[in-house]
Structure 1
Amino acid sequence: MQIIKIIVQVLLALIFIMVGSMKVFTPYSEMIITEGMTWAEDFSAGFIKIIGALEALGGLAVLLSLRIKSFKVLVPLASLGFMILMIGAAYTHWERSEPIATNAILFLVSALVLYQNRGALARNKA
């Protein structure tokens, strides 16, 4: 079961590192014409870069937590952040009559990772 937990965490982290990095490093003018990214025209370039940075840093925290024991407390926090981001993303796509299945799946996987690591916050207080 521990191996499955690690695999899920790594996949979640890699997904958010990749999409977050893309939002940070892709020029706004290219992003808004990219298929599947037209939602970006509803937001400023700076706001999208902030979202991307949050996604990438959260993914990095989840990934590093596998090697750095003191980062374990960041996993439930990052997962909660991912869930909040996915609620916002789903709302944006819903308003534009776009599919929200990907957002729902990432929300559920983030919730699973949060649940699996719920004890990290309690252990950190002790």
Structure 2
Amino acid sequence: MNLALWIAAGLLAAVALVGGITKTFVPKERLAAQHGGEWTRNAGVGFVKTLGVLELLAAVGLVLPAALDIAPVMVPVTALCWILLMVGAMVTHGRLGQFKLVMVNSVYLLLAAFIVGGHIAA
């Protein structure tokens, strides 16, 4: 189970890292032009960058506390926060009719729920 939790956390951290880098460093106009980036058209630059920073922090929080054995309780807390972020993403993409992205976000949500549940059971 421990190995499965590490793999799940690593995968989710990689997703968060890529999303965070993209939202933080790619201009909003370029994001809006990409498939699935339509949500950024009506969002402020600060909001998009804030989401990017939160995703970067999630990437760190999903791996580093357990790897360093410093406050490992932060891993399931971060995963729980990721669940909340994915609910918001699913609502946003659902309103835009982007149901494939809703399904992708639901997979990320389930992965995070596995991490939370695995750490609670341990």
Fold shared by both chains (TM-score > 0.5): yes
Q: Percentage identity across aligned positions?
A: 28
Higher helix share: 2
Residue 119 of structure 1: CA displacement? 6.5
Residue 20 of structure 1: CA displacement? 1.1
1:41 aligns to what?
A: 41
CA distance in 2, matches of 1:80, 1:42: 27
Aligned residue-pair number: 120
1:103 aligns to what?
A: 105
2:55 aligns to what?
A: 55
Indicate the SS of the match to 1:117. helix
- 1:55-95 deviation digits (Å, cap 9, x = unpaired): 11111111212321114121111111110010000000111
Indicate the SS of the match to 2:33. coil
- 1:21-41 deviation digits (Å, cap 9, x = unpaired): 110010112111112211111
TM score, norm. by length of structure 1: 0.88
Residue 5 of structure 1: CA displacement? 1.7
CA distance in 1, matches of 2:109, 2:5: 16
Indicate the SS of the match to 2:97. coil
Q: Which amino acid aligns with 2:64?
A: L
Contact 2:65-2:74 within 8 A present in 1 as well: yes
TM score, norm. by length of structure 2: 0.91
C-alpha root-mean-square deviation of aligned residues, in Å?
A: 1.5
1:124 aligns to what?
A: none
Q: Which amino acid aligns with 1:110?
A: A
CA distance in 1, matches of 2:84, 2:22: 19
2:120 aligns to what?
A: 118
CA distance in 1, matches of 2:28, 2:114: 32
CA distance in 1, matches of 2:31, 2:16: 17
